[in-house]
Amino acid sequence: MDGAVRLCPACRKEVIVMGKTHIEKNIVQETLVIPLYGRKLCTELFPNLFEDRKAVELIDRIDYDFSELEKRAKSTAYRFGALEVAMRENDLMIEAKNYLKEHPSAAIVNLGCGLDQTAENCDNGKCLIYNIDLPDVIGVRNTLLPESERVKNIAADLNDFSWFDEINAENGVCFIAAGVFYYFKKEDIKKLFNAMAKRFPGGKLCFDAANERAVKIMLKTWVKEAGITSIADYFSVNSIENDILPWLKNAAVSSKGYMLGYNDLKDKSIPPLFRTLSKIGDSFMKMQIVRIDFER
């Protein structure tokens, strides 16, 4: 068989691949594949609403058994989940692009980036782009999405604020985070937000959030495997007035519905059931995009 022997950045084993990056099952890097596949699926299902051709390309470059995801993709629940992933990316892109209109040479920083290219999709030809994630994840990203002149991939733990020194924010900075903060404890998020507000005045942070009820559902499997007994310590947002504003003295905080706040989803390709589920998500689950503007 033609191919090359490489050291898999995910499992640290030598594997023979046909010009593809190998990702094994049951490891941290597998979590990179699920949202990537969701973006690929949404591109195929709802092209008028969402398009991520890079996700389609990356799926073809990854050596991974997609058979289970392909089976799930036939279900209504999984397809709605793919729409959720797409809307989250669209929402954050809108916020980042709006910031670049006022600060064209700013930095766009994708926190917990995985294989997401939201920051790159906002590129105006002038901005700086930073993608931050844990070292093993950045190892995979560097193989599939290497750095360029204005794009830097940073291996770091978000709770270790030394990564602040890597960001050139002299012309402004917009941070985005998709599906990341649910896995952090409230106290850690409080420390992170306050440290960012102090270090990056005039900057902006946008991220997705949900109420405690929704977070319990989302993290159910992960919590069980991690042996965690209480989900109440983990970050959720029932209301920005009670859960975020008391933390920050010098910041403006606002939010919009995650699914319908930026797009009414009235495109004819969207099944009526999906719009109903979106209304439930935005209201009952408090699925939202939170925007924090750090005051100067």
The per-residue pLDDT string of the chain (296 residues; one tens digit each, 9 = 90 and over) reads 333 334 443 344 433 333 577 665 545 556 788 889 999 999 999 988 888 989 999 998 888 888 888 999 999 999 999 999 999 999 999 999 999 999 999 999 999 999 999 999 999 999 999 999 999 899 989 999 999 999 999 999 999 999 999 999 999 999 999 999 998 999 999 999 999 999 999 999 999 999 998 888 877 755 555 555 566 788 999 999 999 999 998 899 999 999 999 999 999 889 999 999 999 999 999 999 999 999 98
Same-domain check for residues 204 and 71: no
Domain contains 279:
yes
What total number of domains does the chain contain?
Answer: 2
> Taking the alpha carbons of 224, 227, 231, 234 in that order, is the dihedral positive or negative?
negative
Residues 71 and 88 in one domain: no
287 and 163 in one domain? yes
Q: Residue 152: in which H helix or E strand, if any?
A: strand 151-155
Residue 31 is predicted with a pLDDT of: 72
Q: Using a CB cutoff of 8 Å and minimum separation of 24, what contacts does 145-149 make?
A: 145/58, 145/115, 145/117, 145/120
pTM: 0.89
**Which range of residues forms the domain containing residue 199?**
77-294
Is residue 13 included in any domain, yes or no? Answer: no
Residue 87 shares a structural domain with residue 37 = no
pLDDT for residue 27 = 52
Same-domain check for residues 208 and 176: yes
**Tokens 């700086």 label which residue?**
128
Are residues 146 and 220 located together in one domain of the fold? yes
> Are 36 and 98 in a shared domain?
no
Residue 250's pLDDT is what? 84
Nearest to 278 by CA among 118, 117, 82, 92: 82
Residues 255 and 272 in one domain: yes
Nearest one of 187, 218, 186 to 287, comparing CA atoms: 218
Residue 156 half-sphere exposure toward CB, CA atoms < 13 A: 20
> What's the confidence (pLDDT) of residue 130?
98
Do 206 and 259 sit in the same domain of this protein?
Answer: yes
Q: What is the pLDDT of residue 48?
A: 86
